[in-house]
Amino acid sequence: MQANIAAAKAALAHLDVEEKDVAIKAASRDFFWYSPVLKNRLDHVTADFVVRPKDEAEVIEILKVCYEHDVPVTTRGAGTGNYGQAMPLEGGCVMHLRHMDKVREIHPGRVICEPGVLLKDVDAATREHSGQELRMFSSTWATATIGGFIAGGSGGVGSCTWGALRDLGNIIRLRVVTMEAEPRIVEFTGEELARVSHAYGTNGIITEVEMPLAPAYDWVEMFVTFHDFMDAARFSEDLANQDGILIKLATVFEAPIAHDYFQRVKPHVQPGTNLVGLMVAPHSMDGFLTFAGRRPEATIIYRNDDHNWERGPGPVFEYGWNHTTLRALKVDPSITYLQVRYGHPNSLKLVEKMRDDFSPEVLQHLEVMRESGRVIFAGLSLVKFTTEERLNEIIKLHEDAGAMIFNPHRYTLEEGGRQTVDDRQLNFKKESDPKGLLNPGKMISWDDPDWAFNEMYAHPRLQPLTKA
């Protein structure tokens, strides 16, 4: 199967097509460089052209033309994904959805919009319309799209109360276009949602989303300090277990993360300070202050509604989730990270063990999450990178201890997930993308059903590893 790029480009010339090499290269990248493992191997990846549809009809036209000419299509929201998800491994077309940014309908408890609208713009529209907001968003709220969050993300700010994106009820409906000679439109709800959500656009293009909303609040954002790391972690867990206090974020940073990597927090902490970042609903502040008052080990050093910091820190959620890694990387480029699940019931015991075993090579950054009604921790641990061998060893030791790793140093769906084939996604790909043209190389079970997962999947277009 040989892609006929020239024919596809000619057929799409009446649309908004990007021709400039620099712009094409820029639209072919995401935040893959977070990973020293992926950085070397994906740096060269680039599309042949970029096209920006303005509506679903143009998406259908692009898919139809690319199908006819065997051209791969990789969809791009805002390109803030971390694992090369939005990078066109086999070149071809990057379909950038930035023009599909309309919020269509807002109802009590739900919003219907196009996929290319930024998370912050969904919130602005729903807040203005009826005082509502998204239940959860990635910490890239200001820059990421809702479609990219659903197709590439997992959860974030709000997950301490609402769970993860994959949990029932956190996506209501997705409208998807298939990659066939005559592209079809399919609507997914309930059980079917798992076929296309978090599928990296490998088996369909999301053209409309319907998401649940919650009442919007002017969240009180805070930083709270602790001498002892486990006190900070227990405080966050206990707070999330307070049934009457509404929170949207509880993040724990082991010392010296706050001092070494958070420039605007640094003047207010010591190297040994452990920090908790919080978002609490205004009507819960009385309950929260009572809760915190019972904990002499906790000191509130910052409130966004009442502080005398010369330079405010900006949104507290932009210190959490994967923003922690970004801030650390800016100060120390040798930092990378892991995504860890510390499940119920020994969540904190396991955190404590991993910290005893690895600190300071691995520093704990924890996010409180809710899973099936229980509070657990997601770790986005900061790792001082030395070699790939050592990184793999750290991962193995976590897994041996019972901490599940979602490896952020892999570009495929399976390796970044549970290392198993997702039959629901694979089966839908067989129906929706018979030529395998959507975001090729990201679903191992499509490329190589017998892959044994004992080493990193080596797509032929990966660059051979060179030392940085």
- Residues of this chain that bind ligand FAD (CB under 6 A): 30-31, 74-82, 85-86, 97, 115, 138-140, 144-145, 147-149, 151-156, 200-201, 205-206, 321-323, 326, 439
Distance CA(107)–CA(118), nearest Å, equals 19
- Any idea what the Cα angle at residue 144 is, between residues 138 and 146, rounded to 5°? 80
Contact residues for 117 (Cβ-Cβ < 8 A; gap 6+): 100, 101, 102, 103, 145, 146
For ligand FAD, give the closer residue by CB, 292 or 438.
438
For ligand FAD, give the closer residue by CB, 51 or 97.
97
> Shortest Cβ distance from residue 243 to ligand FAD (Å)?
25
Pick from 348, 384, 144: which is nearest to 257 by CA?
A: 384
Give whole-number Cα distances, 309 to 363, 364, 411, in Å.
Answer: 27, 26, 41
Q: For residue 136, give both structure tokens.
A: 């959860």
For ligand FAD, give the closer residue by CB, 148 or 183.
148
> Shortest Cβ distance from residue 145 to ligand FAD (Å)?
3
Please tell me whether the peptide bond between 464 and the residue prior to it is cis, using omega within 30 degrees of 0.
no
Contact residues for 312 (Cβ-Cβ < 8 A; gap 6+): 264, 304
> Shortest Cβ distance from residue 370 to ligand FAD (Å)?
15
> Shortest Cβ distance from residue 365 to ligand FAD (Å)?
12
> Shortest Cβ distance from residue 253 to ligand FAD (Å)?
15
Burial call 268-292: b when 16+ CB within 10 Å, e when fewer: bbeeebbbbbbbbbeebbebbeebb
Q: Could you tell me which residues are beta bridge partners of residue 50? A: 18, 94
Distance CA(116)–CA(98), nearest Å, equals 5
For ligand FAD, give the closer residue by CB, 117 or 421.
117
Distance CA(82)–CA(188), nearest Å, equals 26
For ligand FAD, give the closer residue by CB, 323 or 410.
323
For ligand FAD, give the closer residue by CB, 91 or 201.
201
> Shortest Cβ distance from residue 369 to ligand FAD (Å)?
11
454 CB-contact burial (10 Å; exposed 0-12 / middle 13-18 / buried 19+):
exposed
For ligand FAD, give the closer residue by CB, 84 or 256.
84
> Shortest Cβ distance from residue 288 to ligand FAD (Å)?
23
| C-beta nearest to ligand FAD: residue | 148
> Shortest Cβ distance from residue 244 to ligand FAD (Å)?
26
226, 276 Cβ separation under 8 angstroms: yes
For ligand FAD, give the closer residue by CB, 36 or 77.
77
